[in-house]
Amino acid sequence: MCHCQSHNTGLAFRQPFHGQDMEHNSFKLPFVHLLCLLLLCPLVSCQLNYKFYDYTCPNLTKIVRYGVWSAITNDSRMAASLLRLHFHDCFVNGCDGSLLLDGGEKNAFPNRNSARGFEVIDGIKDSLEKACPATVSCTDILALAAREAVYLIGGPFWFLPLGRRDGLTTSESDANEQLPGFSEPLENITAKFTSKGLDLKDVAVLSGAHTIGFAQCFTFKSRLFDFGSSGKPDPLLDTSLLTSLQSTCPNQDDSDTKLAPLDSASSSKFDNLYYKLLLNNSGLLQSDQALMGDNTTASLVLNYSKFPYLFFKDFGASMVKMANIGVLTGQNGEIRKNCRLVN
């Protein structure tokens, strides 16, 4: 059944730590339900709903949140890693937990030696198997873990319909083909988003996830020394940032895997400073700074730099859209017992 909270993708800054109370608000008016069926169900699978695990796994949110909190306490980078796992899962043949399977997508270029956090999902899955065996999909765990990661480091909380099931296959070639690249032009990235039912606004909003986390030097080093095979740095890159990055990432192969923060001002706090950096030509990745080269995305960057609440609201909405790409429901897929292996 399609529950009409699907439209409520805003944020709850004071979402209670216990249970799923904030996810239980439900409108009972038949007219509203009719609108839901007519307008929302094409966008959000009608198999997903906010009360999916209420009776079968009532402590789900608490267990996921504790697992994510423990992981972030031990490693502040883990929030960004879990968010990235969710993104990279959903963008390859839909949100089906396929990235969590050993082999396949894990070996694709965008994930190899960079995707991390799998052991966190494994730990949460183990806890859930004790609390409610063979009930919660790895895909739902990943979607919830990404939300909790953002929320626990100061970001928005979004209401998430549940009931996704786990896929049975994983493909290295599909991941290489479908994931947006760090040096792709904006039109290519937008086309990949559009193919998933997202739009140009979602590109600008979800790029804001780069307000946390780090990137390996090889992903942006060409901007520092040989931009566009010119033998010179990217002329758009802020000079003080350029100097700093050239020190962190010298022009030699052994610096390729060194790390630099995507948001040099606050890499472990979810805020809107990423957009302020773009206005100052201080976006780390070429794909980040490219947002300033399009009138529509540049306008969104300006608005989000001024109004953090607007960014938080729109980020939650775009995350819900993304979390519903190509989901498996009903009898499709399975509920994995081990997130790394099909049953």
Tell me the C-alpha distance between 158 and 253, whole Å: 41
Q: Binding site for Ca(2+): which residues? A: 89, 92, 94, 96, 98, 105, 211, 263, 271
Catalytic residue check, 3: no
CATH number of 59-213+262-323: 1.10.520.10
So what's the pLDDT on residue 257? Answer: 93
What is residue 175's predicted lDDT score, i.e. its pLDDT?
Answer: 96
Distances (CA, A) of 309 to 45, 56, 74, 154, 157: 28, 35, 29, 12, 12
What's CA 197's distance to the chain center, in Å? 15
* pLDDT tens sequence across 134-157: 999 999 999 999 999 999 999 999
| Partners of residue 288 on adjacent β-strands | none
State the pLDDT at residue 72. Answer: 97
* Nearest alpha carbon to residue 97 among 339, 306, 266, 268: 339
Tokens of 271: 């805020």
pLDDT value at residue 265 = 82
Domain ranges, ordered by start, for the chain: 59-213+262-323
- Give, for 260, the enclosing helix (H) or strand (E): strand 259-261
Q: Which structure tokens are listed for 285?
A: 């990745």
Residues flagged as binding site for substrate: 180
Segments of the chain with pLDDT less than 50: 1-45
What does the block give as tokens for 315?
């980020």
Contact 97, 331 (CB under 8 A): no
This prediction's pTM: 0.86
Catalytically annotated residue among 3, 7, 24, 88: 88
The pLDDT assigned to 146 comes to 98
- The pLDDT of residue 46: 53
Q: Residues annotated in the binding site, as ranges?
A: 89, 92, 94, 96, 98, 105, 180, 210-211, 263, 271
Q: What is the pLDDT of residue 240?
A: 93
DSSP class of residue 214 equals E
H-state helical runs in the chain: 30-35, 60-74, 78-90, 118-131, 138-152, 172-178, 186-194, 200-206, 222-225, 239-248, 273-279, 286-289, 295-306, 308-322
